[in-house]
């Protein structure tokens, strides 16, 4: 059975992991018979947002690990416990938390820094030739960590802000429709735009389903090669 690590960082599009993208990822993993475990930082979110208006709720505080447990029904562990050697693939859903809790891409763009624990994990998966699937804004994490390897990723239109900033890391940006995926075979990275292009849930589901399928096929080949 293929083992997959899924990185979350709260629950909610404005302040944590995008819930649809996270749940769809888990659903497609289970449909393919994969075994998954979620991980999230055990620390406060960058902020707590009111999701009707997208405004910060001043003074409120929520823990990323506790909030991620709402999505996974408690099936989540602290990020520090994630080990690349225990898994065959890595999935990174999007949401503003991916750009604010897991790194500071939202503030610093191409000069941003990734949570050091997550950065080491991404490097370990890449070095082991294990596939990485990145959804929505999460490919920015891949660009920030693996930019020197010139990964091919999609972050929406290549002339838009997120793509322009990610390209500063050395990543190669690719246009991609919301229901499609882009596969970087050399770096074993799969990405899809999801809600960075949405908001059609059906199209987002198609893209995430294709990403999960491709990542699991890559993982199976890696395992078969031993």
DSSP one-letter string for 107-161? HHGGG--B-HHHHHHHHHHHHTT--EEEETTTHHHHHHHHGGG--EE--S-TTSH
Tokens 């649809």 label which residue?
A: 20
Find the distance separating the first CA and the last CA of the chain, reported in whole Å: 14
Buried b (16+ CB within 10 A) or exposed e, 71-94: bbeeebbebeebebeebbbbbbbb
- Parse the chain into domains and list their residue ranges: 3-225
pLDDT score for 151: 98
Q: What is the DSSP string of 21-88?
A: HHHHHHHHHHHTT-EEEEEE-SSB-S--EETTTTEE-TT---BHHHHHHHHHTT-EEEGGG--GGG-S
Helix, strand, or coil (residue 103)? strand
Q: Please tell me what DSSP assigns to residue 204.
A: H
**Global pTM value:** 0.97
Q: What is the pLDDT of residues 182-194, one digit of tens each?
A: 999 999 999 999 9
Active site residues: 136
Q: What is the pLDDT of residues 38-90, one digit of tens each?
A: 999 999 999 999 999 889 989 899 999 999 999 999 999 999 999 999 999 99
Residues comprising the chain, all counted = 226
CATH number for the domain whose boundaries are 3-225:
3.40.50.880
pLDDT score for 199: 86
Q: What is the pLDDT of residues 200-219, one digit of tens each?
A: 999 999 999 999 999 999 99
Tokens 């769809």 label which residue?
A: 24
CA of residue 70 relative to chain centroid, distance: 18
């Amino acid at each position: 059975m293929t083992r997959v690590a899924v990185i979350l960082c709260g629950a909610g599009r404005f302040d944590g992991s995008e819930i649809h993208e996270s749940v769809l990822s888990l659903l497609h993993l289970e449909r393919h018979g994969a075994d998954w475990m979620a991980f999230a930082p055990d620390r406060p979110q960058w902020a707590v947002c009111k999701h009707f208006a997208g405004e910060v709720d001043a003074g409120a505080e929520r823990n990323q690990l506790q909030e991620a447990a709402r999505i996974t029904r408690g099936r989540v562990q602290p990020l520090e416990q994630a080990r690349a050697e225990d898994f065959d693939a890595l999935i990174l859903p999007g949401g503003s938390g991916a750009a604010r809790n897991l790194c500071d891409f939202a503030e610093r763009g191409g000069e941003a820094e990734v949570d050091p624990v997550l950065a080491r994990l991404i490097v370990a998966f890449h070095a082991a030739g294990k596939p990485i699937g990145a959804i929505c804004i999460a490919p920015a994490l891949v660009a920030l960590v693996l930019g020197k390897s010139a990964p091919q990723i999609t972050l929406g239109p290549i002339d838009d802000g997120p793509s322009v900033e990610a390209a500063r890391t050395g990543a190669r940006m690719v246009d991609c429709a919301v229901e499609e995926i882009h596969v970087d075979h050399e770096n074993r990275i799969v990405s899809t735009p999801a809600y960075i292009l949405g908001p059609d849930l059906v199209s987002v589901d198609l893209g995430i389903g294709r990403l999960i399928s491709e990542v699991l096929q890559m993982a199976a080949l890696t395992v078969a090669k031993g």
